[in-house]
Each structure stands twice: as structure tokens, then as C-alpha cells.
Amino acid sequence: MPSFVVRCHSAPVEPKRFLASIGSPGHVEFIAGIITNALFISKGHRRDTRLYLVMEDSKDYSRTLLIDGSRIGNLGGLHEYALLSACAVALEEASQLHKGQMITAANGIEVEAISFEWLVKRLAAEGSCYLLDHKGEPASGTELCADSVFILSDHVPMPRKSFNSMKRQGVKTVSLGATLLFASQCITLLHQLVESPD
């Protein structure tokens, strides 16, 4: 199954601050579009897709939310506030997590206290990982297997040191063109490339 990892640099892990960040510089409202485009289709959802959202605005540890299409729960609807509220509910249930711990919230979202770097290291050891970068090889000309992992950033550019670290771990860079797109738009295009590699 394809997996998408989105690094949400300025998304708070504290649930009240998370919801208060809608429309603010944290721009958590973009997360709703990412969830929709990664996991939902007309009259259903993608059971073969995983979405990791790495929330990094934290006083202690990052929280990674995993929404797995094969065991997705009730997220309360597809409108923006419902999807963001579902994330806030999961963050609330995970508020007491210590580093490395994991829980599954009542709505099916899995939350783990793991950093972006450690998550990517784990996923890169398991299979093919690709970082979206406008300087990378054209994704349309790359053989992308159905269980590829695609790594994206939110509105904050990926730090250069992260590029170098991922390169050492075997993560390849692919491009969807010179135009800077929203992460949610990139996910839609990547789904199409994985489903129709030819």
C-alpha cells in the first residue's frame, strides 16, 4: 500500500492549541485537505493507503498521527472542522505519551511519540522512500511500486540537513514539476502515478 508522510512543522500537539491554529500561521487547516486527498474517494475511502502526519510544535516530543485506510474509524465527517477535530481528539488521548510510546485513539487514529527523523529512518529500512523535491528526478519517469513511501513537507520548506540525512538513508528525490503545489495536490498526483505507472 502507498504511504504518505507529511511533516507538519508548526502544527501544535496540544489539542486546544491545534484547533486554535486554524487560519493562523500554523495553517493546520491544510491538514484537512491532506487527509481528504490521501484517503478518501467518491463514496468510500482507500483501504490500501496510510497517512502519517508528524506534528512538531511540542514542548516535549513530536506526535505522529497514523490514519490507516485498512482500519480507519469514524472521523466525524469529511468537512474541514470534523477532520481537524478528529486529529485533536487523537492528540488529546495521546497527551500523556512518553517518547517511543504509542496508542490507538477511539476514532482509529494511531498516535506515536516519535520524531520525523526516526519515523523516516524506520520506513526507509522497510522499503522504497521518495522525498518530493522540485530538483528531483521526474516522478512520471520513475518506477514507483505500489507500496512506496512518499515524504512531503507542509508550507514550511524541508531543512537542508534533513535532505542530507534522508539521502544517507537511501531516500530518493522525485519531482512533480517546477510549480510549487500544496501537499494535498501532490498526494492526488502521486496516487495517479502509482495507480497508472505506464
- The full set of domains in the chain, from first to last, is 1-198 (3.40.1280.10)
Residue predicted with more confidence, 178 or 150? 150
90-144 pLDDT tens trace: 999 999 999 999 999 999 999 999 999 999 999 999 999 999 998 899 999 888 8
CB 1 within 8 A of CB 119: no
Helix then strand count (H, E) for the chain reads: 6, 10
Per-residue CA distances from 157 to 16, 131, 166, 185 (Å): 25, 12, 15, 16
Q: Quick one: cell of 42?
A: 467518491
CA pair distance 88, 105, nearest whole angstrom:
11
Give the Cβ contact number of residue 177 at 10 Å.
12
pLDDT band of 25, cuts 50, 70, 90: confident
% pLDDT > 70, the chain: 98
Structure confidence at residue 158 (pLDDT): 87
CA pair distance 101, 66, nearest whole angstrom:
13
Structure confidence at residue 39 (pLDDT): 96
Q: Quick one: cell of 194?
A: 502509482
CA torsion through residues 188, 13, 65, 170, sign: positive
Contacts of 177 (CB under 8 A, 6+ apart): 134, 138
Q: What are phi and psi of 130, to 5 degrees?
A: -130, 130
pLDDT band of 145, cuts 50, 70, 90: confident
Structure confidence at residue 21 (pLDDT): 92
Structure confidence at residue 35 (pLDDT): 97
Residue 88 clears pLDDT 80, i.e. is over it? yes
Structure confidence at residue 198 (pLDDT): 55
Mean pLDDT of 32-36: 96
pLDDT band of 195, cuts 50, 70, 90: confident
CB 19 within 8 A of CB 32: no
